[in-house]
Structure 1
Amino acid sequence: MEYRKLGHSDLEVSAITFGAWAAGGWMWGSTDRNDAIEAIKTAHEYGVTSIDTAPVYGQGTSEEIVGEAIKGIPRDQVQLLTKFGMRWDLDKGKLAMHSKDNDGNKIDIYKYAGKESVIFECEQSLKRLGTDFIDLYQIHWPDETTPIDETFEAISRLIEQGKVKFAGVCNYNAAQMKEAEETLKLVSNQIPFSMVTRGIEKETVPYCIESNKSILAYSPMERGLLTGKITPDYKFEEGDHRADLPHFQPDFVKKTNELLDKIKPIADEHKASLSQLVLRWTIEREGITIALAGARNAKQAKQNAQAIDIKLSKEELKTINDYVDHF
């Protein structure tokens, strides 16, 4: 595995980080708790020391699973990345979405990052994760109802108390990052990035490179689309949010699979899967520090970790980049 420092910090994380959204079940149809725990343990055995989760993933379920999976692993051999600012148990802030929990009950989720809420959420996350501190604490989405300085003053207090090591953001643009930094120095921004979702390369990536901020690319596999296993007539499980997304409509799936057919010979040359090639390509992109990859079972977790073993030549990278640029 390769390990990379986040921003100006001394926090080293694995270039491929375990993304634990699907482990929580919520919006992914379902999850098997034992399979999810085994996936995290297997990932760690193969060098994936960093795990990214959030309270809203299964309304606490994902964090609990992560906490259970890391029991017995020395705390200095794992980095816990979690988030705050998405409340399903409080109707404050701005309504983000109507949803259902894992039991099918209707819930409303709000973007809210008021000071007292941030402190409360941190305490809850520490309990679920079974730890004394969080390595990277990230606001999940911008909260337009709370002044940015109020939110990050709360994080400053948590850092002073030793409950949080470093602060990051998710889904922030360059201007929002600048404003947050007037209160607290950030180390990272977690944002969506993949071969077919590259909007951040225009403004956010250049800002992060210039200001020494790491980018944690989430959905580098475009929620499974870039595995090559999704066909135009693919049927999703009940409760799987992907069914309604534009990227999963037949025409886009067809176009994506044509791109994957073009790069597959490079994967074959390295005796790798398309998923592994896509992950390796992602962490080779300028400005991208790590790629978050989810896994539902041990086999997938091992495969994701082994993507690090692919060594792409400059010529191969150029070939892939040319195909991606013409997508």
Structure 2
Amino acid sequence: MNHSLARRALGRDGLVVSALGLGCMGMSDFYGASDEADNLAVLHHALDAGVNFLDTADMYGVGRNEELLAKVLRVRRNDVVLATKFGNVRAPDGAFLGIDGSPGYVAASCDASLRRLGVDHIDLYYQHRVDPKVPIEETVGAMARLVEAGKVRFLGLSEANGNTLRRASGVHRIAALQSEYSLWTRDVENDALVACRELGIGFVAYSPLGRGFLTGAIASTDALDADDYRRNNPRFQAGHFDVNRLLVDALTALARQRGCTPAQLALAWLLHQGEDIVPIPGTRRIARLDENAAATRIVLSRAELQAIAGVLASHPVSGTRYAAANMATVNA
């Protein structure tokens, strides 16, 4: 079964993807243990449902996430618009070693990802985080050479600010910016998203459900696995969690009036922010994937959008979206 799902363009050069993608990170890292058979079932179901935009990175599971996707790509490469990333460096044991945007690292990372993924090209290749030690022109120049070599079709950046996007675009056309954007993270609206529209760059919204918080399904951090990184995320911490729960409760009430779930309302809101926006919620459950995909068919009225705006104005988010060290690497 291949259900029709709306498509959206990222950039101006022909990259077209499903209006909703699938973030694959949580299948291999950060959110506790998962089952490979279940993950593969979700991946195949996503493609069957028309969700063709799969997002991974070399750092997710220190390569294991790309290896997981390889098992799907081996039989369904033509069904997938494949995105992966480089730049966040991790040791074999998972320790974070920093950010590397040097030309040599760009080339080596791409070759390593191609091997793990078992493909001859990557559709959309992102710099995962901007390296402050390397001029963006040098990094993008190295990425452009991957396009010339046929290893990559389109280029992207992640968590880059407007100035960085403008400088990068002077070297090579950028198809997409991937940054956090959701009902509780909206800072891109005042800078990066403005630059994207000025330059004709598509916007890929990661964590569109606030790492699960906006679904209303997380009653407390005690429900999370012991190794779930959200236990250390500021917005999930005591002093912030209960404040943020008030926002979710208010959005849940609006979703109930609309006849949808809080997750669907959050995704529908994002989709209504512009035809150039593609959210990539992650999930390890088929039921959740179907729930998320259904959000692409929700049409919000002006009154409903105003009601959501009212909730956001009256319920400020509490806590930064990352701990201090990681906040230094975003909007760079």
Same fold (TM over 0.5): yes
TM-score, length-scaled by structure 2: 0.88
Given the superposition, is the C-alpha separation of residues 172 and 154 from structure 1 closer, same or farther in structure 2, using an over 3 Å criterion? same
1:71 pairs with 59, 70, 74, which one?
A: 74
**1:45 aligned residue:** 48
Q: Assess if the C-alpha contact under 8 Å between 2:73 and 2:119 holds in 1.
A: no
**2:82 aligned residue:** 80
Q: Assess if the C-alpha contact under 8 Å between 1:230 and 1:253 holds in 2.
A: no
Identity percentage of aligned residues: 31
Match status 1:28 vs 2:31: yes
Match status 1:179 vs 2:181: no
Read off the aligned partner of 2:23 and give its amino acid letter.
Answer: G
Alpha-carbon distance in structure 1 between the residues aligned to 2:47 and 2:12: 25
Q: Assess if the C-alpha contact under 8 Å between 2:30 and 2:227 holds in 1.
A: yes
Read off the aligned partner of 2:266 and give its amino acid letter.
Answer: V
Aligned residues: 311
Alpha-carbon distance in structure 1 between the residues aligned to 2:272 and 2:306: 11
Listed as ranges, the gaps of 5+ residues in structure 2 are 316-332
Alpha-carbon distance in structure 2 between the residues aligned to 1:290 and 1:316: 21
Q: SS of 2:74's equivalent?
A: coil
Alpha-carbon distance in structure 1 between the residues aligned to 2:276 and 2:31: 26
1:31-84 CA distances to partner (integer Å, 9 max, x unpaired)? 211111111111111111100100100001111111212332251x31001101
Read off the aligned partner of 2:66 and give its amino acid letter.
Answer: E
**2:320 aligned residue:** none
**2:16 aligned residue:** 12
Moved more, 252-261 or 121-130: 252-261
**2:263 aligned residue:** 275
1:244 pairs with 232, 248, 255, which one?
A: 232
Given the superposition, is the C-alpha separation of residues 36 and 254 from structure 1 closer, same or farther in structure 2, using an over 3 Å criterion? same
Alpha-carbon distance in structure 1 between the residues aligned to 2:259 and 2:118: 39
**1:151 aligned residue:** 139
Listed as ranges, the gaps of 5+ residues in structure 1 are 90-100
Match status 1:320 vs 2:322: no
Matches within 5 A, 1:112-123: 112-123=100-111
1:208 pairs with 189, 196, 207, which one?
A: 196
Q: 1:233 Cα shift?
A: 5.5
**1:96 aligned residue:** none
1:59 pairs with 59, 62, 70, which one?
A: 62
**2:283 aligned residue:** 295
Given the superposition, is the C-alpha separation of residues 326 and 266 from structure 1 closer, same or farther in structure 2, using an over 3 Å criterion? closer
Q: 1:118 Cα shift?
A: 0.9
Q: SS of 2:154's equivalent?
A: strand
Q: SS of 1:166's equivalent?
A: strand
Q: Assess if the C-alpha contact under 8 Å between 2:208 and 2:266 holds in 1.
A: yes
Moved more, 35-44 or 250-259: 250-259
Match status 1:127 vs 2:131: no
Read off the aligned partner of 1:111 and give its amino acid letter.
Answer: I
Q: Assess if the C-alpha contact under 8 Å between 1:13 and 1:49 holds in 2.
A: yes
Q: Assess if the C-alpha contact under 8 Å between 2:61 and 2:94 holds in 1.
A: no
Q: 1:108 Cα shift?
A: 3.3
Runs of 4+ displaced beyond 4 Å: none
Alpha-carbon distance in structure 2 between the residues aligned to 1:43 and 1:270: 25
Moved more, 226-235 or 55-64: 226-235
Q: SS of 2:104's equivalent?
A: helix
Alpha-carbon distance in structure 1 between the residues aligned to 2:227 and 2:129: 22
Alpha-carbon distance in structure 1 between the residues aligned to 2:72 and 2:291: 19
Moved more, 14-23 or 140-149: 140-149
1:210-242 CA distances to partner (integer Å, 9 max, x unpaired)? 221111111111111111012246342122111
Alpha-carbon distance in structure 1 between the residues aligned to 2:156 and 2:124: 7
Q: 1:125 Cα shift?
A: 1.0
Alpha-carbon distance in structure 2 between the residues aligned to 1:221 and 1:252: 17
Q: Assess if the C-alpha contact under 8 Å between 2:11 and 2:176 holds in 1.
A: yes
1:152-176 CA distances to partner (integer Å, 9 max, x unpaired)? 1211111011110111100100111
Matches within 5 A, 1:189-200: 189-200=177-188
Alpha-carbon distance in structure 2 between the residues aligned to 1:287 and 1:321: 19
Q: 1:287 Cα shift?
A: 7.2
Alpha-carbon distance in structure 2 between the residues aligned to 1:287 and 1:207: 15
Moved more, 152-161 or 49-58: 152-161
Alpha-carbon distance in structure 1 between the residues aligned to 2:71 and 2:208: 26
**2:328 aligned residue:** none
Alpha-carbon distance in structure 1 between the residues aligned to 2:297 and 2:47: 16
TM-score, length-scaled by structure 1: 0.89
1:108-152 CA distances to partner (integer Å, 9 max, x unpaired)? 332002111111111111122221111110000011122222211
